[in-house]
Structure 1
Amino acid sequence: TMWNILEKVSEQVSLYATLTGQVWYLLVYLFRLIVVVTIGSSVYSDEQSAFRCSTKVIGCDNVCYDKFAKISHIRFWAFQLLALSAPVIVFHFYTIHVKGRIEKLKVKEQEAIEREEQYQKELTKTEDTSKWGVIRNSVNNKIQRRKSRIGKVRPKKVYANTQLEEITLTRGIKVAYFLSVLTRFVMEIIFLFLAYDLFRFAEYPHTPNDGRIVSDGNSDAYIPCWVSRPWEKTIFLRYMNTLSVICLFLALAEIIQIGIRGGLELAKKKSKPRQELPRRRKPSQPP
């Protein structure tokens, strides 16, 4: 089911996330997704059927509702959560792809070792070693090329699900995770802007500002309209917007955190060669 897939993806990705990133996952999938699916459906179940205008003109309710809510809030939040989940899912499949390449590389290395052992056994039976040398060099070159594409593999143990689990870290995985966090940050900004542009954060108990229909060819008639359960929907809208802002700052904090960590690692790598260089002896001064 969808929940099982999201659970597996979030568990896998959270292993690579920082503490700030794990809080982001908690807010998005627990306090936003589940709330929209469970509570939102009941709150907005009658959003159009109970929408009323103070006129008996045929089609007035539909036109006014379209002016008031250009897109359903539930559908808007569904698109928002889908956009936020997309980089998470892409990163999940990328890590699976990298792990698969590493496992294939291990198999190739094991096969090369077994061939080498078999060759050592048959060495006394034949004197033609040049052919095997060419094959061995070709296999080793292929393995080295694959290693260079994957990059340096560094296993890391993290605490998850009440136990220590080992994850695989490469430069590509680190860059991919940073890009996923950056994409989430951009998506949060885009959907906050869209929410402001589409809904204008209007107070539901008030008459919609756009509740107008064309009465004739020259002027617009102002039509008062009413929404069912206005305060309840207002609170729900404020709740979702507040969480969006919090998640936006969490994504920004994680970007800064990853950037600082990457800068420290780079500085550490640059300082290592200098430390390993032997110190030159000072020439002895003449007495």
Structure 2
Amino acid sequence: MDWKSLQDLLSGVNKYSTVFGRIWLSVVFVFRVMVFVVAAERVWSDDQANFDCDTRQPGCKNVCYNYFFPVSHVRLWALQLIFVTCPSFLVVLHVAYREERERKYRVKHGEDARLYDNTGQKHGGLWWTYLLSLFFKTAIELGFLYILHLMYDSFRLPRRVKCGVSPCPNVVDCYVARPTEKTVFTYFMVVASMVCVVLNLCEMFYLISIRLVRLTRQGTVRTSPKRIFSEKMDVM
């Protein structure tokens, strides 16, 4: 995976984001992508090779490992990072659509004509697209956390597991390599994911609050002439 290309693409989204969105992007790359690339992949690199069982029965070790670790943590986190960043591209696509409409409008009506005051300003459909992207990112984060918890019953990796899956001759003890180190990284990634969820919720609350305040002010301005006219009629 080319993480640099992903960072370059998300940097384009950053200029359309709010303060919470910029903090979210920093958390994703500093506390998740960097930790994933620099440390997490190395911790799980020899996971299956160092998974040992108290038997020499051919196939038992591989079957037990696949049973207790159906999906590697590293691959699951890689999928999570890919899916959680994809909704941000909806904003870039919507801005690109606006810019194309703006270009065609100027060709038709002249260079001084403007269809949008700012193609990247979060008004109208772009506001809904941005809010929808936040909803998708939050749902994806929570979904992957649920999958991780469902697969491994908890975020803590045990030192020893008991396996009785065929072709093992009986119930044998199997030992996980470096369980404490892996548990620490698992909790770290889970906490970073929850921080991103909180930032997404804060950003959604911020956008909705700003929108409500703006609509309230517009409603006050629109109704003010009616109030003035009503006051004049009362005086008359």
TM-score past 0.5 threshold: yes
**CA pair 34-261 structure 1, distance change in 2 beyond 3 A:** same
Q: Does 1:105 align with 2:127?
A: no
Corresponding position of 2:165: 213
In the alignment, the residues of structure 1 paired with residue 205 and residue 71 of structure 2 have an alpha-carbon distance, to the nearest angstrom, of 34
- The Cα offsets for residues 245-281 of structure 1, whole Å up to 9 and x where unpaired, read as 1111221121111111111112122121112344342
**CA pair 77-3 structure 1, distance change in 2 beyond 3 A:** closer
Q: CA deviation at 1:8?
A: 3.2
Q: Does 1:186 align with 2:139?
A: yes
Q: CA deviation at 1:48?
A: 0.6
Corresponding position of 1:161: none
Q: CA deviation at 1:222?
A: 2.4
Q: Does 1:71 align with 2:71?
A: yes
Tell me which of 205, 225, 234 is aligned to 2:174: 225
In the alignment, the residues of structure 2 paired with residue 91 and residue 155 of structure 1 have an alpha-carbon distance, to the nearest angstrom, of 14
Q: Does 1:240 align with 2:189?
A: yes
In the alignment, the residues of structure 2 paired with residue 154 and residue 112 of structure 1 have an alpha-carbon distance, to the nearest angstrom, of 12
**CA pair 99-251 structure 1, distance change in 2 beyond 3 A:** same
**CA pair 71-214 structure 1, distance change in 2 beyond 3 A:** same
In the alignment, the residues of structure 1 paired with residue 57 and residue 188 of structure 2 have an alpha-carbon distance, to the nearest angstrom, of 35
In the alignment, the residues of structure 2 paired with residue 226 and residue 57 of structure 1 have an alpha-carbon distance, to the nearest angstrom, of 16
Root-mean-square deviation over aligned CA pairs: 2.6
Greater Rg, structure 1 or structure 2?
1
Amino acid at match of 2:101: R
**CA pair 69-4 structure 1, distance change in 2 beyond 3 A:** closer
Instruction: Say which SS state the counterpart of residue 118 (structure 2) adopts.
Output: strand
Question: Is the 1:13–1:88 contact (alpha carbons within 8 Å) kept by the matching residues of 2?
Answer: yes
**CA pair 172-282 structure 1, distance change in 2 beyond 3 A:** closer
Runs of 4+ with >4 A deviation: 282-285
**CA pair 212-247 structure 1, distance change in 2 beyond 3 A:** farther
In the alignment, the residues of structure 2 paired with residue 37 and residue 214 of structure 1 have an alpha-carbon distance, to the nearest angstrom, of 36
Question: Is the 1:205–1:227 contact (alpha carbons within 8 Å) kept by the matching residues of 2?
Answer: yes
Corresponding position of 1:279: 229
**CA pair 208-266 structure 1, distance change in 2 beyond 3 A:** farther
Q: CA deviation at 1:283?
A: 5.8
Structure 1: which 5+ runs fail to align? 114-142, 148-152, 157-166
Structure 2: which 5+ runs fail to align? none
**244-253 or 53-62, larger mean C-alpha shift:** 244-253
Instruction: Say which SS state the counterpart of residue 214 (structure 1) adopts.
Output: coil
Instruction: Say which SS state the counterpart of residue 233 (structure 1) adopts.
Output: helix
Q: CA deviation at 1:215?
A: 6.0
Corresponding position of 1:11: 11
Percent of aligned pairs with the same amino acid: 26
In the alignment, the residues of structure 1 paired with residue 235 and residue 21 of structure 2 have an alpha-carbon distance, to the nearest angstrom, of 58
In the alignment, the residues of structure 1 paired with residue 27 and residue 234 of structure 2 have an alpha-carbon distance, to the nearest angstrom, of 65
